[in-house]
Amino acid sequence: MTVEDRGSGRFVPEPLDALVEEFRGFLGGERGLASETVRCYGSHARAFLAWLPQPTDVALAELSAGLVTGYVVEYCRGRNTESAKAMVTALRSLLRFLHVTGRAPGPLTGAVPAVANWRLAGLPRRLSAGQVEALIDGCDTGTAVGVRDRALLVMLARLGLRTAEAAAVRLEDVDWRSGQILIRGKGNRVERLPLPQTVGEALAEYATTTRPRCASRSVFLTVRGRPPRPLTAMAVRQIVARACERAGLPRLGAHRLRHTLASDLLRAGNSLPQIGQVLRHRSQLSTAIYAKVDTARLRGVARPWPGRG
């Protein structure tokens, strides 16, 4: 939002907007975070600052541990664990920023409660092969949007990409001659993956038939509006949500396709380190959760239940 500077006739940012933009610049410039992370942290920062009971500059000077804890408790009521974890991580980052820039009276990160979420406590949920095909086949390939969405869904399902990774793919990242694709992942990591034939065919159909001709080098572009713009990670999530609706499935995140690929690779006999390479995990702990769905191998290490004496 903006307010008018009546003396000059110009519009200037309100303090809250200016502060959020400075925070985003700090995240991207000083900490080198990915654009999607900057967007997420910025949204949570705006929500917290807008929640404060006084104008931003006054509230920050009087910011206390009680206010911080109260916001976390209020936000987490009725929300799932992943949403709560994302919020508290962003809030801690904002509080550190406010402290080092002299806006907050002291370091308040310790006032942010931890979210109860034990590592490896849950089971990764997968889709059946029929459900994955229903997501893909529900796209109307008689339209430009349908051809684009089908290529995107095939890529998510066959390569297990995160939404931000799919949105970041550029034309030069696809090496048709060697059959590889370059992926820009979390932590600014850049890695090459084999390009499956199904993914290559879907990308080629989209790129040569319905992708708008424009200066942008991003593979996936908006269809409506001029000039075409690169899809964002949020737009990718919305495309997956619409595909779920067409397929008669509950609204699922793109990460469900990633879990499905990992589970299928495990069932095909691939080891956990191999699956971790495909998913581009930085830590083996991130891959270890898939050991819990490998029931055949788990039976081999399970001890027999003691019989009655």
What would the two tokens of residue 140 be?
Answer: 């109307």
pLDDT of residue 12: 41
Q: Are 262 and 279 in contact (CB under 8 A)?
A: yes
Does residue 29 fall inside a structural domain?
A: yes
Q: Are 27 and 36 in contact (CB under 8 A)?
A: no
* 191 and 162 together in one domain: yes
Given 236, 254, 272, the domain boundary residue is 254
Does residue 286 fall inside a structural domain?
A: no
* 52 and 102 together in one domain: yes
Say which residues have a Cβ less than 8 Å from residue 124's Cβ, sequence separation at least 6: 259, 262, 263, 289, 290, 292, 293
* 27 and 92 together in one domain: yes
* 154 and 244 together in one domain: yes
pLDDT of residue 198: 94
- Per the structure, how many domains does the chain have? 2
Does residue 215 fall inside a structural domain?
A: yes
* 173 and 205 together in one domain: yes
CA 260 to chain centre: 17
Does residue 309 fall inside a structural domain?
A: no
* 46 and 107 together in one domain: yes
* 77 and 27 together in one domain: yes
* Domain membership of residue 148 as a residue range: 129-254
Does residue 192 fall inside a structural domain?
A: yes
Say which residues have a Cβ less than 8 Å from residue 24's Cβ, sequence separation at least 6: 38, 39, 41, 42
Residue 261 dihedral angles phi and psi, to the nearest 5°? -60, -45
Q: Provide the H-helix boundaries in the chain.
A: 15-29, 35-51, 56-61, 65-76, 81-100, 129-137, 144-159, 163-167, 197-209, 233-247, 255-267, 272-279, 284-288, 295-301
Q: Is 140 helix (H, G, I), strand (E, B) or coil?
A: coil
* 250 and 133 together in one domain: yes
DSSP state of 171: G
Average pLDDT along the chain, 309 residues, taken 10 residues at a time = 42 71 91 85 93 79 89 88 88 93 87 72 71 93 95 93 92 94 83 92 95 93 88 92 92 85 79 75 62 51 57
Record the pTM: 0.64
Give CA–CA dist 284/236, Å, rounded.
27
* 91 and 148 together in one domain: no
Given 254, 275, 297, the domain boundary residue is 254
Instruction: Kindly provide the b/e burial profile for residues 139-151, where b requires at least 16 CB atoms within 10 angstroms of the residue's own CB.
Output: bebeebbbbbbbb
* 202 and 237 together in one domain: yes
Give CA–CA dist 202/211, Å, rounded.
12
pLDDT of residue 224: 81
**Length of the chain measured in residues:** 309
pLDDT of residue 35: 81
Say which residues have a Cβ less than 8 Å from residue 247's Cβ, sequence separation at least 6: 131, 134, 135, 138
pLDDT of residue 10: 46
Does residue 284 fall inside a structural domain?
A: no
* 133 and 250 together in one domain: yes
Q: What one-letter code names the amino acid at 253? A: G
Pick from 272, 1, 223: nearest CA to 124:
272
pLDDT of residue 123: 52
pLDDT of residue 96: 93
* 146 and 228 together in one domain: yes
Give CA–CA dist 289/293, Å, rounded.
8
Does residue 116 fall inside a structural domain?
A: no
Cβ burial of 95 (10 Å; 0-12, 13-18, 19+) is: buried
Catalytic center residues: 162, 186, 255, 258, 281, 290
pLDDT of residue 287: 64
Question: First and final CA of the chain: distance in angstroms?
Answer: 75
Does residue 261 fall inside a structural domain?
A: no
Give CA–CA dist 135/268, Å, rounded.
22
CATH number for the domain spanning 30: value is 1.10.150.130
